[in-house]
């Protein structure tokens, strides 16, 4: 298990064994270390408290560990300067409530020899991953699925409901995984395993809609525009300051967009030395899709950063199929390829990178949030949706311009059931399309994939702190689905594949709570997204960048699926193979390919999702 995770922690490793009093059972903790705080041997893990009764393996960073330590030093003896040791002593004092004291990104496991139990916890937003298996009297956990497979603690039995959901989302929503016996610990949750009783208990410790009402926060967001701007600025300044703590080289991803421009400006104001920034340009087919060098350079000049423009060749996109090994289960967002290439290039210079991930979900950066509002209006105009669908169906897709595809999806997806509508707008195969693509046998009892959207909408509106603004409910849904299982999933896997730690200041849980309490009209104002961020940080953003249109961070997949990648289906998914495996209807795949090649409809994401599933299936189930 440790060997399988060495890419995440190439600097050190360790294993510790514990026995029950009757010597009948053994527990092991294993760890691979990426050294960030206290690079000495004192940071070796597994790490113990003073008397060896509490041991920990820890992944991530606790950003408030210095102030926590100051309080603990009066009662505990520290052997290192790490945040890991702070968590050990906090657990001694507070038990499961240790997580309520932590500000950071983390997944950790604590062995408590006093109670013969394991305590596992995952950070508030799910920035760091944590998987586990509990079966036949055995319990195992790991940062990645591959370690659980290496431990051989369960069969590789496919979870067919997860497959059904995958073809809608092109990722697998937590807490399920592609394997029936492997689960994810949800964000903001802890798990306790009683070794002697062989029982598991899971509890949620934080959620933006279940946290107790905060009168001070509500007063802040109900105050004047100037007060709101001051509050969000103060929160992000503090988050950035905390997350710049590092004993190794640190830099920032810089796209020139609002989020990364803000973070670089705050870093430059707080740093004693020049900030290192990294912008990647791509060469190869369709490279114009994501060229933000000019806007990024304007930010770099504004703050005199040590700026790196890294050119990456994407002319051989077939190599991204191999990246399925980073995930261990199907994952169909092609941005994983760009994320991997950026991380790999950045790791040549620094060990830690600051990222703007989360800004879109918190402050209404995605076009789909406008669509939700327009959709509620369009549904009130008789015959308009049907007329628009008819007209747009006659117009071929333009693969270089996503607006037409969005317009088609907008009118096709209108539905009195909002959960179904939003699923159709944001994601891919709907229930009917999956029925055509997938053979019926494994999926006879599959539940509709929109159930996740429906359940989180209900949680947002009915929780202890109900979200009254409908658009904030929608953003909450994205925090619980799109962000954690898609954005954070590929960010963690592709960066840790090259041992680069990525930190995300927008996902400081205090910023998230502020965003959820903030009325939506302060985020999207007169069609302008991230309005409050533009107001609060306009002095940090070059004027020429302040109103640039958003560029999507996606590769030219529609072009690749017409030529470079299309051959996969003929080479690997012939009639005999698809008939033998009994998962796909080959005729439906052929129809999707034909539509795409003819330019009638952009089916690139759907085809890529099929391809990535098959790559995973061959490697992990057929073991080709």
CA distance 458 to 371: 21
Q: Which of the listed residues 478, 512, 541 is the one where a domain comes to its end?
A: 541
**Residue 460 reports pLDDT greater than 70:** yes
For residues 364 and 523, the answer to whether their CB atoms sit within 8 Å is yes
Which residue pairs, CB below 8 angstroms and at least 24 apart, start in 266-269? 266/236, 266/237, 266/240, 266/241, 266/540, 267/240, 267/354, 268/303, 268/304, 268/305, 269/540
**Is the model more confident about 249 or about 555?**
249
Of the pLDDT bands very low, low, confident and very high (cuts 50, 70, 90), residue 547 is confident
Residues 97 and 164 occupy one common structural domain: yes
CB-side neighbour CA atoms (13 Å) of 456: 24
Q: First vs last Cα of the chain: how many Å apart?
A: 22
Residues 33 and 175 occupy one common structural domain: yes
**Residue 464 reports pLDDT greater than 70:** yes
Q: Which of the listed residues 204, 232, 261 is the one where a domain comes to its end?
A: 204
CA distances from 48 to 57, 64, 84, 85 (A): 9, 20, 10, 8
For residues 593 and 607, the answer to whether their CB atoms sit within 8 Å is yes
CA distance 517 to 467: 8
Q: Please give the full DSSP string across 577-599, using - where no structure is assigned.
A: HHHHHTSB-HHHHHHHHHHHHTT
Residue pLDDT, tens place only, 567-604: 999 999 999 999 999 999 999 999 999 999 998 889 99
Q: Please give the full DSSP string across 99-145, using - where no structure is assigned.
A: GGG--EEEEEEEEETTTTEEEEEE-TT--S--EEEEETTEEEEESSH
**Residue 220 reports pLDDT greater than 90:** no
For residues 551 and 292, the answer to whether their CB atoms sit within 8 Å is yes
Query: Quick check: is 424 in a domain?
Result: no
Query: Quick check: is 189 in a domain?
Result: yes
Return the structure tokens found at 76: 């505990």
Residues 75 and 117 occupy one common structural domain: yes
Return the structure tokens found at 373: 């509002």
Work out the angle at residue 210's Cα, subtended by the Cα atoms of residues 209 and 212, and round it to the nearest 5 degrees. Answer: 105
Query: Quick check: is 308 in a domain?
Result: yes
For residues 364 and 529, the answer to whether their CB atoms sit within 8 Å is yes
Q: Which of the listed residues 204, 238, 256 is the one where a domain comes to its end?
A: 204
Residue pLDDT, tens place only, 54-92: 999 999 999 999 999 999 999 999 999 999 999 999 999
Burial string for 111-145 (b: 16+ CB within 10 Å, else e) reads bbbeebbbbbbbbbbbbbbbbbbbeeeebbbbbbb
CATH code of the domain covering residue 170: 3.60.20.10
> Which residues on neighbouring strands pair with residue 281, listed in sequence order?
311
Residues 188 and 59 occupy one common structural domain: yes
Residues 239 and 339 occupy one common structural domain: yes
* Block residue for tokens 């300044």: 237
Query: Quick check: is 616 in a domain?
Result: no
CATH code of the domain covering residue 260: 3.40.50.620
Residues 121 and 200 occupy one common structural domain: yes
For residues 498 and 323, the answer to whether their CB atoms sit within 8 Å is no
Of the pLDDT bands very low, low, confident and very high (cuts 50, 70, 90), residue 404 is low
**Residue 389 reports pLDDT greater than 80:** no
For residues 253 and 305, the answer to whether their CB atoms sit within 8 Å is no
Of the pLDDT bands very low, low, confident and very high (cuts 50, 70, 90), residue 23 is confident
Residues 191 and 239 occupy one common structural domain: no
Q: Where does residue 88 rank: exposed (0-12), middle (13-18), buried (19+ CB within 10 A)?
A: buried
Of the pLDDT bands very low, low, confident and very high (cuts 50, 70, 90), residue 256 is confident
CA distance 542 to 412: 39
In terms of DSSP bridges, do strands 12-19 and 26-33 run parallel, antiparallel, or are they unpaired?
antiparallel
In terms of DSSP bridges, do strands 250-253 and 352-354 run parallel, antiparallel, or are they unpaired?
parallel
Structure confidence at residue 373 (pLDDT): 73
Q: What is the number of domains present in the chain?
A: 2
Mean pLDDT of 536-556: 84
Query: Quick check: is 454 in a domain?
Result: no
Return the structure tokens found at 35: 């050294």
Domain around 22:
3-204
For residues 166 and 332, the answer to whether their CB atoms sit within 8 Å is yes
Structure confidence at residue 61 (pLDDT): 97
Q: What is the mean pLDDT of the chain?
A: 91
For residues 69 and 86, the answer to whether their CB atoms sit within 8 Å is yes
Residues 291 and 357 occupy one common structural domain: yes
* Block residue for tokens 């699926």: 561
* Block residue for tokens 């299309």: 566
Residues 38 and 173 occupy one common structural domain: yes
DSSP single-letter state for residue 484: I
CA distance 272 to 289: 36
Residues 238 and 337 occupy one common structural domain: yes
Nearest Cα neighbor of 257 from 554, 556, 552, 555 is 552
Residue pLDDT, tens place only, 357-385: 999 999 999 988 988 876 665 555 555 55
Which residue pairs, CB below 8 angstroms and at least 24 apart, start in 303-307? 303/264, 303/265, 303/268, 303/275, 304/268, 304/274, 305/254, 305/264, 305/268, 305/274, 305/275, 305/276, 305/277, 306/274, 306/275, 306/276, 306/277, 307/254, 307/276, 307/277, 307/279
Mean pLDDT of 2-20: 96
DSSP single-letter state for residue 323: G
Residues 6 or more apart whose Cβ sits within 8 Å of residue 228: 220, 221, 518, 522, 532, 536
Residues 59 and 176 occupy one common structural domain: yes
Q: Where does residue 268 rank: exposed (0-12), middle (13-18), buried (19+ CB within 10 A)?
A: buried
DSSP single-letter state for residue 459: H
Query: Quick check: is 501 in a domain?
Result: yes
Structure confidence at residue 282 (pLDDT): 74
Residue pLDDT, tens place only, 322-334: 999 999 999 999 9
Residues 136 and 233 occupy one common structural domain: no
In terms of DSSP bridges, do strands 131-135 and 138-142 run parallel, antiparallel, or are they unpaired?
antiparallel
Query: Quick check: is 421 in a domain?
Result: no
Structure confidence at residue 546 (pLDDT): 85
Structure confidence at residue 387 (pLDDT): 57
CA distance 527 to 228: 20
Query: Quick check: is 22 in a domain?
Result: yes
CA distance 264 to 254: 7
- Residues in the chain, total: 624
């Amino acid at each position: 298990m440790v060997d399988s995770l060495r890419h995440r922690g190439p600097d050190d490793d360790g294993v510790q064994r514990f026995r029950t009093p009757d010597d009948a059972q053994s527990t092991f903790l294993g760890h691979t270390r990426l050294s960030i705080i206290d690079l000495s041997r004192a940071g070796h893990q597994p790490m113990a408290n003073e008397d060896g009764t509490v041991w920990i393996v820890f992944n991530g960073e606790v950003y408030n560990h210095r102030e926590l330590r100051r309080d603990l030093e009066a009662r505990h003896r520290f052997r290192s300067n790490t945040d890991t040791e702070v968590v050990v002593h906090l657990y001694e004092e507070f038990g499961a409530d240790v997580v309520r004291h932590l500000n950071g990104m983390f997944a950790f496991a604590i062995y408590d020899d006093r109670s013969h139990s394991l305590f596992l916890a995952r950070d508030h937003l799910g920035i760091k991953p944590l998987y586990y298996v509990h079966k036949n009297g055995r319990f195992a956990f790991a940062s990645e699925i591959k370690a659980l497979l290496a431990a051989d603690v369960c069969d590789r039995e496919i979870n067919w409901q997860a497959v059904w959901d995958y073809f809608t989302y092109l990722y697998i929503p937590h807490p399920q995984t592609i394997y029936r016996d492997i689960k994810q610990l949800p964000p903001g949750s802890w798990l306790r395993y009683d070794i002697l009783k062989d029982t598991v208990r899971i509890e949620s410790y934080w959620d933006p809609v279940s946290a107790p009402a905060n009168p001070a926060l509500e007063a802040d967001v109900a105050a004047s525009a100037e007060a709101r701007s001051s509050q969000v600025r103060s929160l992000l300044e503090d988050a950035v300051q905390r997350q710049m703590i590092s004993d190794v080289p640190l830099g920032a991803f810089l796209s020139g967009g609002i989020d990364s421009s803000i973070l670089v400006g705050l870093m430059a104001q707080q740093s004693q030395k020049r900030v290192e920034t990294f912008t990647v340009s791509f060469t190869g087919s369709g490279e114009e899709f994501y060229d933000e060098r000019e806007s990024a350079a304007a930010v770099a000049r504004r703050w005199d950063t040590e700026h790196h423009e890294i050119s990456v060749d994407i002319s051989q996109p077939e190599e991204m199929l191999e990246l399925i090994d980073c995930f261990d289960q199907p994952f169909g967002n092609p941005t994983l390829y760009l994320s991997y290439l950026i991380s790999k290039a950045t790791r040549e210079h620094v060990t830690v990178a600051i990222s703007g991930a989360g800004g879109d979900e918190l402050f209404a950066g995605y076009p789909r949030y406008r669509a939700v509002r327009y959709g509620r209006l369009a549904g009130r105009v008789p015959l308009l949706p049907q007329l628009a669908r008819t007209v747009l169906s006659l117009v071929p897709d333009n693969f270089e311009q996503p607006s037409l595809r969005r317009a088609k999806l907008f009118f096709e997806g209108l539905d009195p059931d909002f959960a179904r509508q939003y699923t159709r707008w944001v994601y891919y195969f709907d229930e009917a399309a999956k029925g055509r693509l997938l053979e019926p046998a494994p999926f006879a009892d599959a539940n509709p994939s929109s159930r996740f959207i429906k359940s989180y909408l209900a949680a947002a509106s009915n929780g202890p702190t109900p979200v009254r603004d409908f658009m904030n409910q929608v953003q909450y849904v994205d925090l619980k689905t799109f962000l954690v299982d898609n954005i954070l999933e590929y960010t963690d896997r592709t960066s840790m594949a090259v041992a680069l730690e990525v930190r995300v200041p927008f996902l400081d849980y205090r910023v998230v709570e502020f965003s959820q309490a903030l009325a939506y009209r302060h985020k999207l104002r007169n069609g302008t997204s991230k309005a409050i961020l533009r107001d609060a940080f306009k002095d940090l953003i070059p004027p020429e960048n302040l109103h640039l249109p958003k560029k999507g961070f996606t590769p030219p997949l529609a072009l690749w699926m017409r030529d470079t990648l299309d051959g996969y289906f003929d080479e690997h998914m012939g009639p005999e193979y698809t008939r033998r495996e009994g998962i796909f209807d080959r005729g439906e795949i052929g129809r999707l390919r034909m539509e795409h090649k003819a330019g009638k409809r952009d089916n690139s994401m759907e085809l890529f999702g099929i391809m990535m599933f098959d790559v995973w299936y061959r490697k992990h189930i057929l073991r080709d």
